[in-house]
Structure 1
Amino acid sequence: MRLFLLPISTRRSLIYCEKLHDKAPADRSIYDKVTIKANETWVAWEKDEKAIGNWKKKVTFYGNQALKRIPYEEWGLKTIPALTQKRKQDIIDGKIKYEVMFPGLYLPKERVPGILEKLAKDRQNMHRSKLMWSVIIMPFTAPFMLIPVIPNLPFFYVLYRAWSHWKALTGSQHLEFLLKHNLPKPAPSPILDEVYTAGLMYPTRAISRAAPNPTREQAKSVSQVVHQQTNNETEDVMVLQRWNGKLIAEQFKLPEMEVEIERAVEQVEKSIKTKEKLLEEKLEQEKATGKNGERAKDALPDHILERIHEQAEHVAEEAGKNKEGADKPRDKASS
C-alpha cells in the first residue's frame, strides 16, 4: 500500500493513502453500498434543477462550502482505511508492504517519521471527542423530520460529521499501528521532486505541461531558494501550488488526490501569509533557475511559448462555444 506525504508548505503536510481497488458489487459490504449510494445522491442533487425552489442545488452548494472548512488533516486521515483484524495480522506477519512517498528535496527524510507520528497521534482525542458529541446531538435533530418535502438535513449533517470523525480516527489508529511496527518505509520520489519543482518554477499549469522537465540541478536550486525563504526555519513557505495538484494526481494515476491537494493548499494559503507575500515568494522561486533575474518561463524557447498561447486560445474558444450553447435554450424560452 502506498502512502503519500505531500508538503503543502515547509511546515505543513498532507497525508494521502492510495485508494484500494474497488470491490465487485457482489463483494461490497453494507457500509460500502451506503457510502456509494450517498455519493451518487449528492452528485444527482448537484445537477437537479427540478426541485421546488431549487432546494437540492442550494443544499449541495452550501454543503460543499461547509465541506471546504473541514481541516485538510481530517480529509487526509480519512483516506487511510480502518485497521481490520485481518489487516492487523498481515502487518504483524509482514505480508503487506507499506511505503510512504515524498519529495526528498522539499521534505528531509529524517523529518518524515516525526511528521507521521504527529499526524497519527495529535488529532485522535479531538476526533474521538467530536464523534461522541455528534452521536449525542443526533436525537435532538429529530423534530426537523416534521418539515415536509425537505429531508432532515440537520440529522444527516450531524450523521456525516460523526462518520467523518470516525473515519479520521480509524485512519489515525491505522497509521499509529504502522509506526509501532516500523512501517511505512520512507521512499523519496524523484517524480515528486520534479513535479514540485515545475510548480515552483512556472506560473501556470499550461506552461508547466509544455516546458521541458526540470533537471536535477534546477530542482536543487529551487529547493535551496525555498530553504532561504524560511529564514532558518523560522517562517512557513508554500511549496505546492493549487493547480499543481492535478499534475501530481496524473503522474500517479490517482484522480481522487487532486481535490485533496487543492483543498489543503487553499486552507494553508489562507492561514500563513497575505496574498502579496505569497506572490513575492513565488516570483523569487520562479527566478531560481533563471539568469540575470529572468523567470524560468522567460527562458523557454519561442516555439513552446507559441504552443502554450495556441492552447490557451483553443481553450478560450471552446469555453465560448459551450457558453453560447448553454445560453441558447434560455434565449429561446424568453422569446
Structure 2
Amino acid sequence: MRLFLLPISTRRSLIYCEKLHEKAPKDRSYYDKLTIKANETWSAWEKDEKAIGNWKKKVTFYGNHALKRIPYEEWGLKTIPALTAKRRQDIIDGKANYEVLFPGKYLPQASVPGLLEKLAKERQNMHRSKLMWSVIIMPFTAPFMLIPVIPNLPFFYVLYRAWSHWKALGGSRHLEFLLKHNLPTSSPSAALDKVYAAGLMYPTRALSRVAPEPTEQQAQEVASVVHQQTNNETEDVMVLQRWNGKLIAEQFDLPDMEVEIERAVEQVENGIKTKEKLMEEKLEQERAVGKGGERAKDALPDHILERIHKKAEDVAEEGKEKSTEKAKETTKM
C-alpha cells in the first residue's frame, strides 16, 4: 500500500493513501454498497432541476460549501482504510508492504516519522469526542422528519459527520499501528520533486505541461529559494499550487488525489498569508532558475509559448460552441 506525504506549505502536509482496487459488485459489503449509493444519490441531486423549488440542487450547493470547511487533515486520514484483523496480523507477521512517498527536496527525510506520528495522534481525541457528540445529537433531529417532501437533512448531516469522524479515527489508528511496527518505509520521490519544482517555476498548469521537465539542478535551486523565504524556518511558505494537484494526480494515476490536494491548498492559503504576500513569494520562486531576474516562463522557446496560446484559443472556441448549443436548446424548450 502506498501513502503520500505531500507538503502543502513548509509547515503543513497532507497525507493521502492510494485507493485500494475497487471490489467486484458481488464482493462488496453492505457498508460499501451504502457508500456507493449515497455518492450516486448526491451526484444525481446535483443535476436534478425538476425538484420543487429546485431544492435538491440548493441542498448540494450549500452542502458542498459545508464539506469544503471540513479540515483537509480529516479528509486525508479518511483515505486510509480501517485496520482490519487481517491487516493487523499481516503487519505483525511482516507480510504487509507499506511505503510513504514524499518530495525529498521540500520535506527532509528525517522529519517524516515525526510528521506521520503527529498526523496519527494529534486529532484522535478530537475525532473520538466529535463522533460521540454527533451520535448524541442525532435523536434531537427527529422533529425535522415532519417536514413534507424534503428529507430530514439535519439528521443526514449529523450522520455524515459521525461517519466522517469514525473514518478519520480509523485511519489515524491504522497509521499509529504502522508506526509502532516501524512502517511505512519512507521513500523520497524524484518524480514528486520535479512536479513540485514545475509548479513553483511556472505560473500556470498549461505552461508546466509543455515546458521541459525541470532538471535536478533547477529543482534544487527552487527548493533553496523556498528555504530562504522561510527566514530560518520562522515563516510558513506555500510549496504547492492549487492547479498543481492535477499534475501530481496524473503523475501517479490517482485521479481522486486531485480534489484532496486542491482542498488542502485552498485551506492553507486562506490560513497563512495575504494574497499579495503569496504572489510575491510565487514570483520569487519563478525567478529561481532565471537569469537577470527573468521568470522561468520568459526563458521558454517561442514554439512552446505558441502551443500555449493555440491551446487557449481552442479552449475558448470550444466554450463558445457549447454556449451556442446550450442557447439553441433553451430556445427550443
Pair in the same fold by TM > 0.5: yes
TM (norm. structure 2) is 0.99
Residues 231-276 of structure 1, C-alpha deviations (whole Å, 9 max, x = no match): 0000000000000000000000000000000000000000000000
The match for 1:87 is 87
**Partners of 2:308 and 2:215 in 1: CA distance:** 21
Contiguous gaps of at least 5 residues in structure 2:
none
Tell me which amino acid in the other structure corresponds to 1:297: K
**Partners of 2:325 and 2:297 in 1: CA distance:** 35
Tell me which amino acid in the other structure corresponds to 2:282: K
Task: Decide which moves more: 322-331 or 206-215.
Answer: 322-331
SS state of the match for residue 242, structure 2?
coil
The match for 1:298 is 298
Task: Kindly report which structure 2 residues correspond to 1:232-251, keeping only aligned pairs within 5 A, or say none.
Answer: 232-251=232-251
The match for 1:31 is 31
Tell me which amino acid in the other structure corresponds to 1:317: E
Is it true that 1:211 corresponds to 2:214 in the alignment? Answer: no
Residues 83-138 of structure 1, C-alpha deviations (whole Å, 9 max, x = no match): 01110000111111001000000000001000000000000000000000000000
Is it true that 1:323 corresponds to 2:323 in the alignment? Answer: yes
The match for 1:97 is 97
Contiguous gaps of at least 5 residues in structure 1:
none
Task: Decide which moves more: 66-75 or 309-318.
Answer: 309-318
The match for 1:164 is 164
SS state of the match for residue 75, structure 1?
helix
Tell me which amino acid in the other structure corresponds to 2:314: H
Is it true that 1:195 corresponds to 2:188 in the alignment? Answer: no
SS state of the match for residue 3, structure 1?
strand
Tell me which amino acid in the other structure corresponds to 1:220: Q
SS state of the match for residue 58, structure 1?
helix
Tell me which amino acid in the other structure corresponds to 1:280: E
SS state of the match for residue 198, structure 2?
helix
The match for 1:69 is 69
Q: CA deviation at 1:321?
A: 1.0
The match for 1:269 is 269
SS state of the match for residue 187, structure 1?
strand
SS state of the match for residue 289, structure 2?
coil
Is it true that 1:133 corresponds to 2:133 in the alignment? Answer: yes
**Partners of 1:112 and 1:65 in 2: CA distance:** 32
Q: Matched residues, percent identical?
A: 82
Q: CA deviation at 1:34?
A: 0.3
The match for 2:21 is 21
**Partners of 2:198 and 2:33 in 1: CA distance:** 40
Task: Kindly report which structure 2 residues correspond to 1:282-293, keeping only aligned pairs within 5 A, or say none.
Answer: 282-293=282-293
Runs of 4+ in 1 over 3 A off after TM superposition: none
**Partners of 1:253 and 1:155 in 2: CA distance:** 36
**Partners of 1:82 and 1:58 in 2: CA distance:** 33
The match for 1:184 is 184
Q: CA deviation at 1:139?
A: 0.3
Residues 52-76 of structure 1, C-alpha deviations (whole Å, 9 max, x = no match): 0000000000000000000000000
TM (norm. structure 1) is 0.99
Q: CA deviation at 1:29?
A: 0.4
Q: CA deviation at 1:79?
A: 0.1
Residues 264-298 of structure 1, C-alpha deviations (whole Å, 9 max, x = no match): 00000000000000000000000000000000000
**Partners of 1:127 and 1:327 in 2: CA distance:** 48
Q: CA deviation at 1:329?
A: 2.2
SS state of the match for residue 282, structure 1?
helix
The match for 1:259 is 259
